[in-house]
Structure 1
Amino acid sequence: MSSAQAIKSSAQANRSEGRSSSGRSADKLPTLKTRPLPGTALCMVLVGLAMALGGGGTVNPQTEMVLQVLTALIMIPLFAGSEWQRGLGPVQAPALMLAGLILLIPVFQLIPLPPSLWHSLPGRSVEVQSLALIQADTSWMPLTMAPARTFASLLSMICPVLLLLQVSRLSLRGRNWLCIVVVGVAALSLALGVLQLSRTAGFEWSLYSQFSEGFLVGFQANRNAQADILLAAILATGVLATARLGDGRNHVLTWAGLMMTVLSFLVGLFMTGSRTGIALSSIALLFVGLMLWPMLRKRAAVLYGLAGTIGVVVISGGLLLQLQSVQKVIGRFSLMHEARWDLWADTWYAIGQVWPYGSGIGTIVPMLEAAERLEVVDTTLPVRAHNDWLEWLLEAGLPGAIVLGLILLVVAYLVVTAVISVSKSDASASRRAQVLFAIGFLLIEALHAIVDYPMRSMSLAALAAVAVAMLLNPAAPQRGRQ
């Protein structure tokens, strides 16, 4: 290569998106002066729609159906031409592996089986006897006890899986754009929550007919899901602040904005009334602290300022204790009459009835209704086990436990690899923050899943997919403005 060619190649590389002579411009926070490339923009729209429309749950499927249709429409441009793929690199192998593992169980459970096989499955005797009354017991039937419910669950998994694949293709700055979406949509949900609590104009201000009334739920139907949305927003705020502070300058307004934003999300988190969500806020704040610690110049002053802020929050909290809405939230911090213990006992009994093959993804409602003990029957209907890990064992059985173990092993490998990568002295501050975001959010979801069902929310499943994808190495930046 001649010297002229070498100079030309170097200039082209420096003009490429996210490149500079220092190699650090990809760390910069996207601004209104820049715009995302088409592929990045499509991912942003997917994340925003998933957060806004994916929170209905089993009892409010309408918005999730709209989300599934919109997801299919948004994916069309990615297959229509290469122009829409600008901003996206190749799909990474671990993302493909995880996508296949996630979809494996529901697909496997929908495969029709001959009568000689499905008749011998545990828990199917009543079904065999019922079908025999209409001479239909010789039909081929799948492993799942409720094919329609399992198929619906399979469809609901497609949006998070697509996000996992697409986000794995984004560059470092493209993933920062997603954090902007997370913070923005969470802020909108907070504003909607204010209307819900105030009942302005006499409206409930909820997207759903059934939701956690009297609490801040935003775009979600479940207050616990809204709590996790706000925790994700706190972590995403830390990522954006790191990108802003990475140039080494003193950003007083950035620090002030960070404190105000996090404090607003914490207040909203408290008003969700989610006990576990409030407790898990300590993990979110810890990971934000880990993101920002290398950015601090006068650490002692920051610690004093943090102590003062905590003091102000405590004093303000004492004054707010007189509000009825605040007392309502505090009143929830009691284990008296905790219904989860009964749900777990019934779920464990149901697991024994269908082990080792499981009852089918999405069959928790009929299984709990059949297993519910007479002494705990009341006017309410059980819709979830309030423990994602137990619910998965019931619906997926031993095959699901094996697949889940493989998924956890892959994710653990990605975590270790990512931590080693960002621990190097030349590692990007934004990359380190994104890895901490991913680990923090996945840890929060894993712990919350012990007492609730975050992975049954399409919104939270989509954010979990984004978090897993952020563990993968970012795609190489492309030429253009992003």
Structure 2
Amino acid sequence: MLAGLGVVIAIQLVPLPPDIWTTLPGHARFAEAAVVTGLEQPWRPVSLVPWLTWNALFALLPALAILVGLWGTNPRQREKVIAGFLIFLGISILLGIAQVAGALNGPPLHYRFFAQDSAIGFFANRNHAAAVLATGFPVLRLWSLDAAPGGGSGSKRRIFALIAALVLLVMIVVTGSRTGMLIGFASLAASLAMAPIDELGKKLDPRKAWLIRLAVVAVPVLVVVLLILFGKAVALDRIVDDDLLAEQRVVYLPLLLDLMRNFLPFGSGFGTFDPVYRSFEPDWAITTKYLNHAHNDLLELMMTGGIPGLAVLGAFLLWIAARLWRTRKDSRRPETISVRAGAIMAAALLGASLTDYPLRTPIAGVVLVFACWLMARPLFDMKPPAENKGKGRSSSSAPSYFGSGGRR
């Protein structure tokens, strides 16, 4: 599917004869440039700004690099990859804490103008930062279950995962991203539901175990309440204080819908939103701020990529649905946990893309590839337990998810 997206972008760079190009929806007004200058209509590609479409094509390279790297991992390396992702989130959180604490006389990155006293970590946008942080909940849940059954390491992992999840939740709320907060809560709830939580306190008295499971749900709510009381819930404050109907995303929506319809079904070219939008921008929409993206990647995809781009997205969503459908029967299987974790990560990033453009950043794009790897990973190297017998390691003592690669 990554290759399919690359092909769709590359096709938009193929020059077309004038008779075809001038009949493309939305392109006729740009044909006037040749008429005004007295030149013959040249051969031109679908993309109205080819160099930006070339940029979009080469922007797939980070995702391709990670895809190739993950494809070559063995079962022992897989757990290290997951731990590495969690470490990356931890470093981003520490960087965000330093930013809101005023370290180095301001955010310790070059994105001071965009930070706006928010914990943005490695990103230049609080919405992007919150979206990526929200993908940490399913990975923590997956990692907490990835331990030898009956071993003490499982309990330690679950305790650490619960604490880390609370830290993630606090940082998401502190970023100030309204969409990120909603996506974060949804991701946390889905992560708890992606596998039975009866492993929490299963060795305790049933009444005490019930209290522990209740605390898993109640404590996050309590943390958010405390953030509100201490005035640190920036995202909630923005929801309450801002006039959502006056939000630029809402005000410009009719204009963006018209722009999208003008260029269907072939699009204006990947990466061309900014210059194309400015050529259609009405006087009332001109302000001291410019609209660099549609802040709704579904609309922008349809405008710039047309029906072919939408078809790639549709195929991607169908693949996710097919992977989830195949793991519907047993919620305890390692394959099921892995697929659901990846699906929740992808859903968080795609959901955040409805009000912003996180997947246009290299880091978030790489995280999406990581999520796809978790969903596709059960397709490879899954050997039945019988094949592991007689090799000095019984299937019962093997790590339950990534260490052995065996089915249970």
TM-score bracket, shorter-length normalisation: 0.7 to 0.9
Q: Indicate the SS of the match to 1:174.
A: helix
Aligned AA (1:449)? S
Map 1:363-382 to 2 at 5 A: 363-382=272-291
Alignment partner of 1:329 is 2:235: yes
- Give the C-alpha shift of residue 126 in structure 1: 3.4
Counterpart pick for 1:220 among 99, 114, 123? 123
**Native 8 Å contact 2:170 2:224 kept in 1:** no
Q: Distance in 2 between matches of 1:302 and 1:168?
A: 40
- Report runs of 4+ in structure 1 exceeding 6 Å deviation: none
**Native 8 Å contact 2:145 2:158 kept in 1:** no
- Give the C-alpha shift of residue 137 in structure 1: 4.2
Match in the other structure for 1:16:
none
**Native 8 Å contact 2:331 2:337 kept in 1:** no
Aligned AA (2:274)? V
Match in the other structure for 1:99:
2
Match in the other structure for 1:454:
358
Q: Distance in 2 between matches of 1:387 and 1:401?
A: 14
Greater RCO, 1 or 2 (C-alpha within 8 Å, sep 6+)? 1
Alignment partner of 1:249 is 2:158: no
Match in the other structure for 2:314:
405
Q: 1:141 to 1:333 in 2, by over 3 A?
A: same
Q: Indicate the SS of the match to 2:348.
A: helix
Map 1:191-340 to 2 at 5 A: 191-208=94-111, 210-244=113-147, 246-250=148-152, 251-289=154-192, 290-291=194-195, 293=197, 295-296=199-200, 297=202, 298=204, 301-308=208-215, 317-321=224-228, 323-324=230-231, 326=232, 328-334=234-240, 335-340=244-249
TM-score normalised to the size of structure 2? 0.83
Q: Distance in 2 between matches of 1:392 and 1:113?
A: 22
- Give the C-alpha shift of residue 284 in structure 1: 2.2
Q: Distance in 2 between matches of 1:184 and 1:275?
A: 25
**Native 8 Å contact 2:196 2:331 kept in 1:** no
Q: 1:160 to 1:198 in 2, by over 3 A?
A: same
Q: Indicate the SS of the match to 2:356.
A: coil
Q: 1:328 to 1:447 in 2, by over 3 A?
A: closer
**Matched positions, count:** 376
Q: Which deviates the most, 263-272 or 438-447?
A: 438-447
Q: Distance in 2 between matches of 1:319 and 1:411?
A: 37
Residue-by-residue CA offset, 1:316-345 (whole Å, 9 max, x unaligned): 554543545x25433211425211112322
Q: 1:313 to 1:398 in 2, by over 3 A?
A: closer
Aligned AA (2:247)? E
- Give the C-alpha shift of residue 385 in structure 1: 1.2
Match in the other structure for 2:398:
none
Alignment partner of 1:434 is 2:338: yes
Aligned AA (2:302)? L
Q: Distance in 2 between matches of 1:312 and 1:396?
A: 44
Match in the other structure for 1:357:
266
**Native 8 Å contact 1:283 1:440 kept in 2:** no
Q: Which deviates the most, 329-338 or 374-383?
A: 329-338
- Give the C-alpha shift of residue 181 in structure 1: 1.5
Map 1:28-39 to 2 at 5 A: none
- Give the C-alpha shift of residue 369 in structure 1: 2.1
- Give the C-alpha shift of residue 118 in structure 1: 1.2
- Give the C-alpha shift of residue 266 in structure 1: 0.9
Q: Distance in 1 between matches of 2:318 and 2:49?
A: 30
Residue-by-residue CA offset, 1:399-425 (whole Å, 9 max, x unaligned): 2223332333333323323x15x8388
**Native 8 Å contact 1:164 1:468 kept in 2:** no
Structure 2 gap ranges (5+): 384-390, 392-402, 404-408
Structure 1 gap ranges (5+): 1-97
Q: Indicate the SS of the match to 1:142.
A: coil
Q: 1:104 to 1:347 in 2, by over 3 A?
A: same
Residue-by-residue CA offset, 1:283-336 (whole Å, 9 max, x unaligned): 322333233626342575344124346555555554543545x25433211425
Q: Distance in 2 between matches of 1:110 and 1:343?
A: 29
Q: 1:440 to 1:148 in 2, by over 3 A?
A: same
Q: Distance in 2 between matches of 1:163 and 1:100?
A: 14
Counterpart pick for 1:116 among 4, 7, 19? 19
Aligned AA (2:325)? V
State the identity %: 22
Q: Distance in 1 between matches of 2:330 and 2:220?
A: 34
Alignment partner of 1:444 is 2:348: yes
Q: Distance in 2 between matches of 1:342 and 1:172?
A: 50
Q: 1:471 to 1:314 in 2, by over 3 A?
A: closer
- Give the C-alpha shift of residue 213 in structure 1: 1.6
- Give the C-alpha shift of residue 264 in structure 1: 0.8
TM-score normalised to the size of structure 1? 0.71
Q: Distance in 2 between matches of 1:137 and 1:199?
A: 59
Aligned AA (1:346)? L
**Native 8 Å contact 2:173 2:234 kept in 1:** no
Aligned AA (1:234)? F
**Native 8 Å contact 2:143 2:157 kept in 1:** no
Q: 1:413 to 1:166 in 2, by over 3 A?
A: farther
Residue-by-residue CA offset, 1:115-149 (whole Å, 9 max, x unaligned): 22212222223322223444554322111001011
Match in the other structure for 1:476:
381
Q: Distance in 1 between matches of 2:355 and 2:120?
A: 18
